[in-house]
Amino acid sequence: MCGIIGIVASSNNNIVDEIIAGLEKLEYRGYDSAGVAVICSDRIERVRAAGKLQNLKTKLESNKISGSVGIGHTRWATHGKATENNAHPIMSRDVAVVHNGIIENYKELKFDLQKEGYIFETDTDTEVVAHLLQREINNGCSPLETFKNIMKLIEGSYAIAAVFSSFPNTIVAAKYRCPLAVGFGENIYIGSDINSMSACGEVVYLEDGECVEVTGDNALFFDTNFQPIEPKRQKVSPDFVNVGKGEYGHYMLKEIMEQPSAIRRTILSNKIDGEIFNGVSRILILACGTSYYAGMVAKYWFEKFLKIATDVEIASEYRYRHPIIGENVLAIAITQSGETIDTLEAMEHVRKNSNSKVIAIANVRNSAISRISDFIFYTEAGMEIGVASTKAFTAQLTILAQMAFCNHEFLIRELQNLPTLCEEVLSSSKEIEDLAKKIHTANSAIYLGRGSLYPIALEGALKLKEVSYIHAEGFAAGEMKHGPIALIDDNIPVICLCPHNELFEKTSSNIQVALARGKNVIIFSDLPGSKLLPSEATKIILPRISEEFAPILHVIPLQLLTYYVALLRGTDVDKPRNLAKSVTVE
């Protein structure tokens, strides 16, 4: 969740501006404070600030620092409030540390360090790492030896990078269950993801327990036993370098508009062979957040077209309830980043407790999930910078549709037409923008859907909550009368998804019930002129398509609606408060 950037320059050039540029490219991950530390004349100079990165940049204007070796960090608070004092890098006299993850045994380590006389100045778990490294330096250890010794002590998840005033040309870094990569270009870089290292042509992804020591123009890699290794360098894909917002005011709008091309690329890049389902008695889908809702849609598709019982599990809960996995199960994990810790842990649980095949769906190549799955399908959405997932979600649905319809040639052929229809929906964005003006002052909203549109109602409500901060809830339309109906009045928008499918008349009746209790009812449907759709409601008409693809087509106007509502409310559309793009801690 936090962002790490480290640079060892090949010359004596000042790298502070380049560290800040790297942090800017990590903003999308989510953060609430930031800081930078560099080695300057055998001492560590550090500047930190709470809040946006601009606050750090402002402080650097009046507190200029300079160095050719340094680390930077954007922090998303876990232990300790989002204050300047708790911002990283965290220091202990001769050491500065940046850390992503959680040190689970930090209280015990802190107690022991305090008994030895170490003074703690922050509320973070990371400070124990700084003091542990300092203790090893005091004992005469080299930077690499300090990491070798402390990695035996700390428990939890971490990506750690450190600089040492007594070793001014060196950065040492290590990882366990948090992403970390080393990039090679004019300088050598260490970062949470390759987006922060766009100046690099090649990259090495560290595996769990591995460590790297960067000195000057040399990077030495070590395995879990601290034996030297020579990992393979990989070319940096231009699809995963942040190329900017282009003509758009926000990444979110740009990424919404990129969905037709993302769906096309995903269709072309993935050919699903129905043999993967041979002998499968049950499908288990593991995911979190928006990816979980994609899995919920897939459940409807899989059971109808594959005739295989399917369960969808919230990954963060799955392994804690002692689940019964059973025989002949196919597990499918869905994650945009490929680094979502809850999904990774759930997959590991399946691996350790069954002989199930594990398939992954992810948007990022060489991510952690690719290393623990039997097979992986990649969504071809390209880099998604906006925290609220849009194009990655529809690309996930596209692959899941390819799986579900793999034995139905007509539906696979019709899937080819989906990008064109998505473009048609996007061309009516002005209509959605006008609709946003009618609901942006609401305090709450209700989303209703039935069948495979129920998860889309949940996703629509999630997007509105994430980006506009309006409280919103999604419900199965048939469940409205079992409680949620009490919320409806003239002020609360009721957003109804009503495609022409086998549940059309049922959903229409639910809409009438809502309209009898409130006047702010909005309908998204692909059946214009139907007498079953009340004239008093506001209607947005979508293109006609096979009912199986309605979830993909209906979610796009909901994304646009969220964007325009958030714009009117003046929120930070691309970086909503408290949220992180990639959730790498529990």
Residue 157: the pLDDT is 85
Q: What is the phi/psi pair of residue 161, to 5°? A: -135, 140
User: The whole model's pTM is what?
Assistant: 0.79
Q: Which fold has domain 246-416?
A: Rossmann fold (3.40.50)
Q: What is the phi/psi pair of residue 178, to 5°? A: -135, 140
> pLDDT of 313-348, one tens digit each?
999 999 898 899 989 999 999 998 888 889 989 999
Cβ neighbors of 321 (< 8 A, separation 6 or more) are: none
Give burial (CB, 10 Å; 0-12/13-18/19+) of 452: buried
Distances (CA, A) of 35 to 23, 42, 87, 157: 9, 19, 6, 21
Boundaries of every domain in the chain: 3-236, 246-416, 426-569
Do the beta carbons of residue 45 and residue 65 sit within 8 Å?
yes
> pLDDT of 535-584, one tens digit each?
788 888 999 888 999 999 999 999 999 999 999 999 999 888 877 655 65
Residues designated catalytic: 2, 581
Architecture of domain 426-569: 3-Layer(aba) Sandwich (3.40)
E runs forming strands in 208-252? 211-215, 218-222, 228-229, 234-235
Do the beta carbons of residue 162 and residue 143 sit within 8 Å?
yes
> pLDDT of 357-366, one tens digit each?
999 999 988 7
Tell me the pLDDT band of 242, cut-offs 50, 70 and 90: low
- Quote the CATH superfamily of domain 3-236: Aminohydrolase, N-terminal nucleophile (Ntn) domain (3.60.20.10)
Topology match between the domains 3-236 and 246-416: no
